[in-house]
Structures are given as C-alpha cells and as structure tokens.
Structure 1
C-alpha cells in the first residue's frame, strides 16, 4: 500500500489543490480549511446549498491563498483585524473577516451576500470528543483533520454506476492505493514513515458528493450518493472513507509506503 494522491483545501467547500507532498501542523494538513465562507448570519456556506462554489479555484502563493472566481478574477485572501463569531455545524468559532473585495466578488458570483473568514492560531476548535478523547484541534474541516479514502473502493463503486465519478467528489486529503475495496472499514491506525494517523470513524456522505467538480452542477439522478446508499448505508449514514487524526507531525508525499497497524 502507498499514497496514491494528496489534496489540500485552503477554503472550505471551494476547489482543492492536488499536491505532491504535504506538511502536517497542529491543525492537520498545513493550510487546509483555515478559510471558510459564511452568510449574513455568520453560518457556514458550502456546496450543499451553493454547488457553484465548486467552480471557484484556489492556489497558494507562498503562505497566501489566492482564489479565482469565474467572471470576477483573482483575489488574495488577507485576514483583517475584524473579529467575528461564526458557526460551523454545532460549533461556535472565533474567526476574523477577510478583505472585503474578495467577499464582494464571491457574493456577486453566488447571488447572495457571503463573507470569507479566517481561523487564526489563537482559535481552538476541538475535534469531536465523542470520537477523540485527547484535546485536539481542527480547522474548519467538517470535524476531523483528515479524510482518508481508498482507490479500490472508488473503483468498485464505479462498476455500479452508468457514469463513473472521480475521487474529487469525496474531497479526501489522503488517497491510498494497493488495498482491497472497502478494506478501510477495518483500519484503526496507519503509519507513513514517522507519521501516525488514527482512523477514528467512517465518514458519512451527503449531497455534496453529487456535485460535479468540473461544472458545479448536481447530478440529476443523485449519483453517486444514491448508489452508495443502496449498499453502504448504516444507522450513522452512507459511508465512504474514514476520518483520521494525526498523532505525529511530519511530511507526507505521494508514493510513500503505508502500513496498517
């Protein structure tokens, strides 16, 4: 088994960036989902309600995040001094507003008022203690620093679909190859070099998986979620991939050997 691919998502629910390697910091993959979009009530906004966000690309310019908004151009996301309390799932989180020019451009693109917000180092959002007793932090990711998926599981799913989908639908950070389909259901810890990652819970999937990452349009037939629900549904949801928390920092690179312990 080895790392097939890696991805970082600088802004929650915008397009991700495929990378050859990623450094891990206290939050998880460095630079992952430290930015988020909120509405006028300061609640998080994602592709679940705004699938067009898939068309907004991101890139790093040094330590800065640059977004490219269709019809509007490129904007550098710059944290301001203005604090705000924002909501992501059940968590109330301290954040700061981004520069207004980018927020105004994204508002025009989405057709509603939205704002970029940033999680700085002073903010501590805890990983769900029901799954991770240790006092660990997480960015604006849904709940855990990592999402790990398996290429063989996607291949198996695609044998059931009329139109195959690619792994971007599932927005993983870490994609593993060389394992059997659905082997990840039984994984509890992986070692990649000196990096240890605990796999703490299966990942329940939602309507976001039906958004085509190339067009920002939902699948009219509800795929691949509808097919997954026919054979991967549990009392906790429709499962694809596993959520993880890193126990050590380090560097992960495509091609690295993966061991399950």
Structure 2
C-alpha cells in the first residue's frame, strides 16, 4: 500500500475570505480550530459568499496573538483587528443555505470596516461554542456538528488529484482554488475517492460524500478575477449525478488532538 503524508493544513476563519496555510491545527467538534467560526451576513441575516461576491477573495485573514487580523490585498485600508471572543450581548439568527442558527454580532467597528471594504452593508458574526448546526443527517451521525462551513467539518484533496487536473489545463492552478482543509501527498490521483475510513494521529476520519464544486473554484484568490476553468475541464471527466466532484467531505471522531504537517495517513478501510 502507498504511503500517504499530510502535506497541507488550511483554515478559513471567516467564511469565503482568504484562507491560511498552517503547520498544525487543533481538532475540535466542528472541525479545525478557528475554521469558519466567523461569517459575513447581509442586512437580512443571510450569509455572504464568493459565489455572488468574488471580491471577498481580496480580504486576507491572519491569526494574531489576540484575535484575527484582516487586510485588503488591493485597497489601502488599515488592517482590522477582531477579538477571538465576540460580544455576546448582540445575538442574531443567521441563515446559511437551508440552516438557521444563532450567532453573536462581533462589533460595530467590524461591521463598518467590512461594509467599506466590500462596498455594501454587511455585518460580521461569530459562532459560539453552544450554537447548534448539524451536518446533513443523510451523510452523518445525529450529533455531528459543523461550523459556518458549507456542509461538513473537513474537506480533503490529494495533491496527485490536483496534479492530474493541472496536466489537462493550459495553466496550472494552485490548491487554494479548492479551499481544502487537508491535503496529502502519495499514492495516485483520486485515491481519496476510494476510502471510507482513515486516521491521522489519534483522529479518525470518514469520507462520506464527494465535494461538489461551484464557481468559487473559478475565482483567482489573489486577484478575484474569474474564468471558465477549472470547472470546464473537470466537467469532462469528474461529473456524477450532474455535479462536478473534486475532493472528499469528511466527518470525524476524536477532538482535542493536534494535526501536524508531516503526519502519516493510515488508511483503515
């Protein structure tokens, strides 16, 4: 059996904004620590996404000592500091896809900064630890929870899968187009499609559903420019049930452990 190594760990603290590549990350109930625990909403409480507002990609998030630090990749806005703990005095019901859950509005300063940066009224909210948002019961267990991620706590892609795609493209794309949490090296293209259970350290993962891809993959994460690729090419060989699939969505057992780049993947089933 091939050796598989965890080669990349990514978190996206604020949904649909720029992601962060890290060397290690703590596993929590909803996924990796800080991953998609913040979200931007419109005046009606609906989530904002690069699918509709590609320029959200131009906002880059960093982890600082006391919270998040957000900057604009093109505009000369002063960086915004966001505390890890949100103000629990302003509770809001927010909508993400078909789910509704409660969240805390962060503060007026954040609302004003993001409204200026994106050129539209919006608010920043934080998901507290006691908020309940379940993973789709068709693919998960009753107690599985998820953050403000689209649907699942983790998404994994093999580097060989991206290499296979890039071999078919006129211009190679970086992994950040696909916004995974976990990337591994070793084996062959799309090996992840064949797994039903694997372990990394003390955490066990269960691939439960291929990740159906959307227009976010066509957005250059550095410039916010859009093109037809990679969906045009992926559709020629990665379509199933009218959906273009790339990567695997995961649920997991085990929290409180730390994933580190360089760990081996143990394929159980």
TM-score > 0.5 by shorter chain: yes
2:49 is equivalent to residue 43 of structure 1: no
Moved over 2 A (4+): none
Match of 1:28 among 24, 27, 31: 31
- Tell whether the 8 Å contact from 2:134 to 2:142 is kept in structure 1 after alignment: no
2:199 is equivalent to residue 196 of structure 1: no
2:92 is equivalent to residue 84 of structure 1: yes
- Tell whether the 8 Å contact from 1:204 to 1:239 is kept in structure 2 after alignment: yes
Q: CA deviation at 1:65?
A: 1.6
2:66 is equivalent to residue 58 of structure 1: no
Map Cα deviations across residues 25-68 of structure 1 (whole Å, 9 max, x no partner): 11110110000011111101011111111111111123512211
Corresponding residue number in structure 2 for 1:234 = 240
Cα distance in 1 for residues equivalent to 2:8 and 2:120:
35
Map Cα deviations across residues 128-148 of structure 1 (whole Å, 9 max, x no partner): 111002311110001110000
Match of 1:105 among 96, 109, 113: 113
Task: Map 1:104-253 onto structure 2 (within 5 A).
Answer: 104-219=112-227, 222-235=228-241, 237-249=243-255, 250-253=257-260
Map Cα deviations across residues 171-225 of structure 1 (whole Å, 9 max, x no partner): 0000011020011111111111211111111000000000001111112xx1011
Mind listing any 5+ residue stretches in structure 1 that lack a counterpart?
none
Q: CA deviation at 1:235?
A: 0.7
Task: Please give the secondary structure, in 1, of the residue aligned with 2:68.
Answer: strand
Task: Please give the secondary structure, in 2, of the residue aligned with 1:104.
Answer: helix
Mind listing any 5+ residue stretches in structure 2 that lack a counterpart?
none
Cα distance in 2 for residues equivalent to 1:144 and 1:171:
13
- Tell whether the 8 Å contact from 1:147 to 1:242 is kept in structure 2 after alignment: yes
Task: Please give the secondary structure, in 2, of the residue aligned with 1:24.
Answer: strand
Cα distance in 2 for residues equivalent to 1:50 and 1:73:
21
Task: Please give the secondary structure, in 2, of the residue aligned with 1:73.
Answer: coil
Query: What TM-score comes out, normalization by structure 2 length?
Result: 0.93
Task: Please give the secondary structure, in 2, of the residue aligned with 1:227.
Answer: helix
- Tell whether the 8 Å contact from 1:148 to 1:175 is kept in structure 2 after alignment: yes
Map Cα deviations across residues 71-112 of structure 1 (whole Å, 9 max, x no partner): 322112242221110100100010111112222122122221
Query: What TM-score comes out, normalization by structure 1 length?
Result: 0.96
Task: Please give the secondary structure, in 1, of the residue aligned with 2:31.
Answer: coil
Q: Which deviates more from structure 2 when the two are superposed, residues 61-70 or residues 233-242?
A: 61-70
Cα distance in 2 for residues equivalent to 1:61 and 1:5:
20
Cα distance in 1 for residues equivalent to 2:213 and 2:181:
15
